[in-house]
Amino acid sequence: MILKHENQKGLSLVEILVTLGIFLFVIVLVWLFIKQSYNVQSFAFGQTTAITEAQRGVETLVKEAREALPGDTGAYALVKADDFEFIFYADYDRDAAVERVRYYLAGSDFTKAVTEASGNPLQYLPGNEAATVISKYVRNEANEPVFTYYDGNYSGQESDLALTTPANPLELKLVHINLKINVEPDKAPVDYTLESDAQIRNLKDNL
């Protein structure tokens, strides 16, 4: 009996290379998809966190500004009202002592700085100021003030004229806060705008 053996051919070198190329191509596509998904999720998380932090900071600012008081030195409740800096006195920590509170934009950092009165007679010494960054991703341009101020004639209409800055603290009755938040401007061309108003209760006239 004669047995016939069939020739079993394996993959040729060209077929192996083509198969390997396709495999590597698929791996690269999967890796790029995973990387892109991670970048998108990372940006979304960072943006959400930045917005949440800024919202908390603005809510605190509004609450403190509404309750502005004369300083423990007898100074007027409002100290400075400029486009990117607002300074006033308030008992922000409810300890029966009035602190000097300063909110300002330094680069892209929206910052709160507090100074406790000390000495005899009492003074608010610059060296005692303690600063905390509220938001690191504020993108306001030079022509986009963080703070806008209004007097007692403010009615909430677009026709209301803002006070010229630096505003006279004696005329100021309401401050409008405007922050533009963006963790990575290159990825998200549209900034998130956060706005709020703080009516200075102890100073209000017609508001």
Residue 206: per-residue pLDDT: 46
Q: Strands 192-199, 147-150: parallel, antiparallel or unpaired by DSSP? A: unpaired
Entry field: residues in the chain = 207
CB 179 within 8 A of CB 135: yes
Overall average pLDDT of the 194-207 stretch: 78
Among 130, 141, 125, 128, CA closest to 178: 141
C-alpha span between 23 and 26 (Å, rounded): 5
Residue 40: per-residue pLDDT: 61
Q: What is the percent of the chain where pLDDT is above 90?
A: 59
C-alpha span between 118 and 128 (Å, rounded): 9
Residue 87: per-residue pLDDT: 98
Query: Does 140 have pLDDT greater than 60?
Result: yes
Residue 99: per-residue pLDDT: 96
The full set of domain ranges for the chain reads 39-68+77-86+135-203
Summarize pLDDT for 23-64 with one digit per residue, the tens.
788 888 887 777 776 666 666 777 788 888 889 999 999 999
Strand partners, 195: 178
Question: 12: pLDDT confidence band, cut at 50, 70 and 90?
Answer: confident
Query: Does 85 have pLDDT greater than 80?
Result: yes
Summarize pLDDT for 123-139 with one digit per residue, the tens.
999 999 999 999 989 99
Residue 47: per-residue pLDDT: 79
The values of phi and psi at residue 136, to 5°, are: -95, 0
Summarize pLDDT for 182-196 with one digit per residue, the tens.
988 877 678 899 999
